[in-house]
């Protein structure tokens, strides 16, 4: 990691400006969202280097001249737009806000899932509980509620979750199937994306998905739609309950974007239970995004921001970890890391673990 290791090279004058950007960050965020939602950035983009005046914009908008005016003027201040005489032209940051699917996925997730609940960050930090989750529903953690979220919120949550893992899955399939696993246990397999990708890649493999009942219902429906119910099965559990059994007889246990949903104590307990059912030759593959393993600072920013969602909304006690934290828990559970591969998909790391001899 080549960043975060020295003071920023920035003048006091510029640093003071950066501090004001943070002070007004929620306002900037909502302005950006509305510029997208009301198609203002799109219209300005279409007008090219000539740009668009407020009256041009108003002809095609449900918004008044006044409403458009406050949005585009703040757009200038945020560096999304610049002026050509009286006309507003799209600048480079505006271009990426409009066209980059990662920015849109993160923005929709932040707005739909996190925005209201983040008001409770202060209480969540003090209490170790996701006090902002009440903005979405009445659950202990977000996971039992996932299948019951209102449509738009659910869509944004799943898009965010899948966006990152989907990019990694494609690169991983050939790597994972080199070992010719016959029975994969996908722990926290969610709606079955990885399970279905595995059954498509290898026509003999069977996959058991361990997850909460709500997610499994959808996963099995997806397996039925793909015609692979004979090779995909559901193992309903709550992994926070240490008395519940752990799926046995897998030759490859798979945990993708899963352990970050738990505190360090909970992770150790889950890994120890996995160890109890693993055999000498079985493997545990952990796929995570660690903030210290990101090749670019933008990646570390996104990963660290996601931690705060866990604090205020998801469960109050988990986060996106530093790789050293997870490596230590893996060792304490009785496993060693046989292979440690960075830069998979969008900044994922794969840890292939085996039982310590």
What are the two backbone dihedrals, phi and then psi, of residue 184, each rounded to the nearest 5 degrees?
A: -100, 135
Q: Is 239 in the site for ligand SAM (CB under 6 A)?
A: yes
- Which tokens go with 195? 């399970």
Q: What are phi and psi of 138, to 5 degrees?
A: -105, 75
User: Between residues 88 and 157, which has the closer beta carbon with respect to ligand SAM?
Assistant: 157
Identity of the residue, 51 or 188, whose beta carbon is nearer to ligand SAM in the bound complex: 188
Nearer to ligand SAM, 43 or 141 (CB): 141
Give the x-and-dash track for 136-165 against ligand SAM (CB under 6 A).
-------x--x--------------xx--x
CA atoms within 13 A on the CB side of 22: 6
What Å distances lie between residue 174 and 97, 202, 232, 282, 340, CA to CA? 33, 10, 20, 18, 16
Which of 333, 11, 227, 244 minimizes the C-alpha distance to 351?
Answer: 333
CA distance 126 to 325: 22
Q: Which is nearer to ligand SAM, 132 or 189 (CB)?
A: 189
By CB under 6 A, residue 238 contacts ligand SAM: yes
Q: Which residue's CB atom is positioned nearest to ligand SAM?
A: 188
Site for ligand SAM, residues 79 to 138, rule: CB under 6 A: none
Angle, CA 191 vertex, CA 275 and CA 218 arms, to 5° = 120
Task: Please state the separation of Cα 129 from the chain's center in Å.
Answer: 20
Please choose, from the candidates 25, 97, 83, the residue with its C-alpha nearest in 3D space to the C-alpha of residue 53.
83
Any contact of residue 321 with ligand SAM (CB under 6 A)? Answer: no
Determine the size of the site formed for ligand SAM (CB under 6 A): 19
Which residue, 88 or 194, has its beta carbon nearer to ligand SAM? Answer: 194
88 vs 253 by CB, closer to ligand SAM:
253
The answer to whether residue 237 forms part of the interface with ligand SAM (CB under 6 A) is yes
337/249 Cα distance (integer angstroms)? 21
80 versus 136: smaller Cβ distance to ligand SAM: 136
211 binds ligand SAM (CB under 6 A): yes
d(CA 217, CA 113): 22
Tell me which residue of 252, 273, 251, 277 sits closest to 262, measured CA to CA: 273
Of 157, 258, 290, 309, the one binding ligand SAM (CB under 6 A) is: 258
Partnered with residue 235 across adjacent β-strands are 210
- Tell me which of 32, 78, 259, 261 binds ligand SAM, using CB under 6 A: 261
**Residue 246 touches ligand SAM, criterion: CB under 6 A:** no
Min CB(146)–ligand SAM separation in Å: 6
Nearest to 164 by CA among 226, 222, 106, 99: 106
Least Cβ distance, residue 306 to ligand SAM (angstroms): 10
Contact 257, 288 (CB under 8 A): yes
188 binds ligand SAM (CB under 6 A): yes
Q: What is the DSSP string of 78-115?
A: TTSEEEETTEEEE-HHHHHHHH-HHHHHHHHHIIIIIT
Indicate which single residue of 256, 282, 306, 317 sits in contact with ligand SAM (rule: CB under 6 A).
256
Q: Point out which span in 36-44, 110-118, 183-191, 336-344 binds ligand SAM (CB under 6 A).
A: 183-191
Which one of the spans 45-53, 68-76, 234-242, 325-333 is the region binding ligand SAM (CB under 6 A)? 234-242
Q: Does 208 bind ligand SAM (CB under 6 A)?
A: no
Residues that bind ligand SAM (CB under 6 A): 143, 146, 161-162, 165, 188-190, 211-212, 215, 237-240, 256-258, 261
């Amino acid at each position: 990691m080549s960043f975060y290791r020295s003071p920023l090279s920035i003048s006091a004058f510029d640093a003071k400006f950066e501090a004001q950007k943070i002070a007004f960050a929620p306002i900037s965020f909502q302005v950006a969202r509305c510029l997208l939602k009301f198609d203002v950035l799109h219209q300005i983009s279409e007008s090219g280097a000539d740009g668009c005046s407020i009256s041009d914009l108003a002809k095609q908008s449900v918004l008044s001249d006044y409403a458009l005016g406050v949005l585009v003027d703040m757009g200038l201040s945020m560096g999304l737009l610049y002026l050509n005489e009286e006309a507003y032209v799209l600048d480079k940051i505006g271009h990426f806000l409009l066209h980059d699917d990662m920015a849109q996925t993160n923005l929709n997730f932040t707005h739909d899932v996190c925005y209201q609940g983040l008001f409770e960050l202060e209480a969540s930090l003090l209490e170790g509980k996701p006090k902002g989750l009440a903005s979405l529903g009445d659950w202990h953690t977000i996971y039992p509620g996932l299948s019951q979220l209102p449509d738009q919120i659910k869509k944004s949550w799943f898009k965010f979750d899948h966006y990152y893992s989907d990019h990694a899955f494609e690169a991983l399939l050939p790597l994972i199937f080199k070992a010719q696993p016959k029975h994969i246990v996908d722990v926290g397999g969610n709606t079955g994306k990885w399970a279905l990708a595995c059954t498509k890649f290898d026509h003999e493999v069977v996959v058991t998905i361990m997850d909460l009942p709500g997610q499994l219902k959808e996963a099995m429906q997806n397996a039925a739609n793909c015609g692979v119910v004979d090779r995909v099965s559901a193992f309903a559990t709550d992994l926070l309950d240490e008395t519940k059994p752990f799926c046995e007889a897998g030759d490859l246990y798979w945990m993708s974007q899963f352990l970050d949903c738990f505190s360090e104590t909970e992770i150790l307990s889950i890994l120890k239970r996995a160890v109890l059912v693993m055999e000498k030759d079985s493997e545990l593959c952990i796929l995570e995004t660690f903030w210290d393993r990101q090749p670019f600072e933008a990646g570390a920013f996104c990963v660290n921001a996601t931690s705060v969602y866990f604090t205020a909304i998801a469960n109050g006690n988990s986060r996106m970890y530093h790789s050293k934290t997870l490596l230590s828990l893996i060792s304490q559970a009785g496993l060693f890391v046989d292979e440690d591969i960075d830069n998979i998909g969008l900044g994922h790391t794969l840890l292939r673990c085996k039982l310590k001899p």
